[in-house]
Amino acid sequence: MEIEFYGKYDKADFYQAVALVNKPSRRSTIIRIGIVVILTALYAIYFVSMATKENLSTFDVARAGRHVISIGIILYFLLQPYISAYQAATKLWKIPAVQAPFGGFVSSQGITYNLANGRKERLWDQFAKIQKNDKFIALLTPDGALSLLPRSFFKNENDWKIVQQWANYKVIEAV
């Protein structure tokens, strides 16, 4: 059984899919937030102690200035996965082939794309990560190739449900 698809990516959905695939794990997010909270508390204590100090030397003011700069670095550390996902989506979106309409079919074996330069096949076992929501299924290979299947690419709801089932059961995520 083969289910045909055809369409053109919507920019907002494309960015959302790239962000979803690159979303850090819950554990990683908790660790990042924990580190930022601890460092922010230490900085708050430091700045309060500096503010209550009577005689501030030039050295103390310079040290406080360095700490203000390092707060920016800490915020980048917290937001880096999201910044990287946005940059990746922007880079991918600039590729003309990504913005062009295309089609193909999905089967129990995998996904076949009919592109301007020929056919490209991806078997289900080539995917290492799956992320999905009610608008699309985003699949990622170990080497970082993204396959995005929006719901709007399929002719009817039944086709969409079958593709979701195949993706759920055929893609074995790497741990």
pTM: 0.74
Cα 113 to Cα 101: distance, rounded to the nearest angstrom: 11
**DSSP characters over 101-162:** -EEEEEESSEEEEEETTEEEEEEGGG--EEEE-SSEEEEE-TT--EEEEEGGGBSSHHHHHH
pLDDT by residue for the chain (175 residues), tens only, comes to 899 999 999 999 899 989 988 888 889 899 999 999 998 898 888 888 877 878 877 777 787 788 788 888 888 988 999 999 999 999 999 988 888 888 999 999 999 998 877 889 999 999 998 988 889 999 989 888 889 999 999 999 999 999 999 999 888 876 6
